[in-house]
Amino acid sequence: MSDLYRSAMYARISKLPQLPPDPPGHEDEEAADSIGALPSLSLSPPINRLPRTPNPEYAPVSGASYFSQAVQVDVPASKLDVRVYYTPPQTTDGSAGSVIVCHHGAGFAGLSFALFAKEVTKLAKGELGILSIDARRHGAHSHIATLPIERSFDEDLSLDILVQDLHNLLRVVFPVPSVAPSLLLVGHSMGGAVIVRVVPLLIEAKYRVSGVAVLDVVEGTALDALPHMPAILNSRPEGFDSVSDAIEWHITAHQIRNITSARVSVPSLVIPTPEPRARGVRAFTWRTPLRTTAPYWEGWFKGLSAAFLAARTARLLVLAGTERLDRELMIGQMQGKFQLVVVPNTGHMLHEDDPLTLAQTLVEFWRRNERVVVGIKKVGDL
């Protein structure tokens, strides 16, 4: 959130149930194939250049080695076919274990957490599973072809819809709450708004929620930045000559500071430009144009601080810099209602920029709250 705020101010103007195998061509899809909450957008002018041979330094990298499996999950209640990246927990005591559930920000996708997922698996020695999803209109999701669907259904990115999508997905993936793993919910930006609102639904359904972690979004700062977003979005190119070109832009424009992560995550953010293309139009365009999400920006973040502080579980806020906390969070911090961690030398995509530090933070948070000693309160408990 901190990078976005500076830009805005400068502008001023368990295992899964038996799921189908990874679809054929998955590797090719990954190679070809969110608002301060928005990505930290540079104010430098869009890159305009003649088509050129892709730079091998920015060649796409498959996400296959970062998760145990990538599958499509039918979620009839949401009329969606959702791409899920999953590494199940490896327990030795016969328990269901624990799983981190990751929700990306606007304009990004589940592979945004790829490097983070691998670090978590190593640090927790496999005891902590990790599941990362593609939200509707993002990544490799689609609607279920066999179900009737209104033309505009898939376009709705309102908060209530996104919350229901996540809740419905988890009910499919872990259908029996009593034997499901405990869930540690992690949300970046827009995803942070989603995960804090899904907590009461999961608790009501008798799931065990061991904690929530919100990454780089503060309600007050996000809402203050929204009026400046159109000017910031003008800095983004409308398209790219190739997937490698898209990866290069994310690195050179400082959207993502970790080139390895960008090579894994960025390919799922763009799609081939639909034919016929006008002369001069780039070969690849955005999968989720951020301008089209503008009607939902305020709804995502309004009330976020209160919802975070009201979550009946341990709470963690991770920021990319010494961000200003809004009044509610400042009071909550003084009252010890949540843990605050700052990851230095990162931007808005802190989970991509420094996946190891974030993994260390989350694994420690999990161990402290999932394996809490009797008589010691969890982080955020009153």
User: What are the catalytic residues?
Assistant: 189, 216, 348
Residue 155 burial (CB count, 10 A):
13
Pairing of strands 270-272, 239-240: unpaired
**Nearest in space to 182 (alpha carbons), one of 170, 193, 165:** 170
Pairing of strands 315-319, 339-342: parallel
Please provide residue 45's backbone torsions phi and psi, each rounded to the nearest 5 degrees.
Answer: -65, 155
Q: Which residue has the tokens 């999701």?
A: 141
DSSP sequence for 60-117: ---STTTSSEEEEEEEGGGTEEEEEEEE----SSSS--EEEEEE--TT--GGGGHHHH
Q: Are 319 and 343 in contact (CB under 8 A)?
A: yes
User: CA 50, CA 47: separation in Å to the nearest integer?
Assistant: 10
Q: Are 308 and 338 in contact (CB under 8 A)?
A: yes
